[in-house]
Structure 1
Amino acid sequence: MAYDLKREEEVKEFVENLGIEYRFGCYKENKPEVCHLLADYLEAIKKDFDKAAKVYKSNCMEYNYGKSCLKYGNYALIGRGREKSDPQEALKYFEKGCELNDPTSCLHAGLLLTATGPAISVQRDVPKGYNYLKKSCDNNEAMACHYLAGMYLSGVPKNPKEYNPHNPEKNANIDFLIKPDLKQAFQFAKRGCELGNVFACANVSLMYKKGDGVEQNLDESKKYFEIAKSLQNAHETTKELKFQQGLESK
């Protein structure tokens, strides 16, 4: 059946039928990818976060669908579809998603395990977190590569309270879990840039300009600056298109 999506009543009918199709595909045909779509439908169309959370959770645990593990982990982290935030529960699902080779789950698990600060209630485990971030980067998650570059740029102190980012000389005698390594930082930044992370490209440009971790090359610095600028402009254009889409056709 063809729908005229300019007519409100037909849009409503289309949306309801979509939900019926997703429920059938999930509960009758046991298709995990359709269960994930059903949860997305409950989240985005019905705004029923409690039901969406239950579908994401069961699809992760029963069907081993990595993207649903990621979504339920995010719900647990921010307290959506539940009474309160539970970072430890979130980590459990991010780790399962990572085991199922979802690179963004690996990223989130790595960030939780390496983060510091009073708001972080997850036990810090930098080696484990590093491995998650490395797997994420190896599987083309640009932000993970960018984050790894940052870890090597400044190093990761064993005791973050001893680290002084504004006075590097005072950091000479502290213990590091990951020592500063500009060559490693450059390699991860370059990989992040290749995958489209604008901040990674900006770092590559700066490192070429200063000769940090790579031989100084002002031409390459300018090249990566232009790449970063192009990515930033594309991002701004995409945001504008999303805001304006459909206006001209009305």
Structure 2
Amino acid sequence: MLKIILFLFLVFGVSYADKIDDLENSCDKGEAKACRDLAYMYEEGRGKVYKNKYKAIKFYKEACDKNDATACNRLGVIYRDGINVKKSYFKAKKYFDKACDLGNDMGCIWERKLQKDKIEDILDGK
């Protein structure tokens, strides 16, 4: 029984390693969704990878550069909220704008909210 459990553990462990390699190869070949999937895996520590905020942001940027609207929106949230990065209104706006331009409705909503909040801050003297 122990041999069966060990065998299954090794098989599934290798399959995750293969999946990471496949995603990295696909990302390198220009597949935006593969870059976004890698980013999510590193952001959340999924699929036998450790959380790595730097790799997550790197892969989200690669996906966004390849016109993945969801990745652009996620980068907007990351910079708006300062998730493992310094908060940046300008970077958040840039990524929300791109997400919106690519057809991501949430990017449009967040961009408008960001604009509204910035105007309110200016009017309040902040």
Q: Secondary structure at the match of 2:43?
A: helix
| Bigger Rg, which one | 1
1:74 aligns with 2:37: no
Residue from 80, 93, 99 that aligns with 2:65: 99
The TM-score with structure 1 as length reference comes to 0.41
Unaligned runs of 5+ in 1: 1-45, 158-162, 164-170, 175-250
The correspondence of residues 116-155 of structure 1 with structure 2, limited to 5 A, is 116=82, 120-155=83-118
Look up the match of 1:52. 19
Query: Identity percentage over the alignment?
Result: 20
Deviations 1:30-77 (A, max 9, x none): xxxxxxxxxxxxxxxx7944432221122102x011111111111110
Deviations 1:72-108 (A, max 9, x none): 1111100112442122211111111111111111111
Q: Secondary structure at the match of 1:75?
A: helix
The correspondence of residues 21-40 of structure 1 with structure 2, limited to 5 A, is none
The TM-score with structure 2 as length reference comes to 0.76
- Count how many residue pairs are aligned between Structure 1 and Structure 2: 113
**RCO higher in structure (CA 8 A, sep ≥6):** 2
> After TM superposition, which residue ranges in structure 1, 4 or more long, deviate above 3 angstroms?
46-50
Asked whether the equivalents of residues 133 and 145 of structure 1 are also in contact (C-alpha less than 8 Å), the reply is: yes
Unaligned runs of 5+ in 2: 1-11
**Aligned-pair CA distance for 1:131:** 0.9
Structure 1 residues 49 and 142: alpha-carbon distance in aligned structure 2, compared to 1, 3 A threshold = farther
The correspondence of residues 168-183 of structure 1 with structure 2, limited to 5 A, is 172-174=124-126
The RMSD of aligned alpha carbons is 2.4
More helix by share: 2
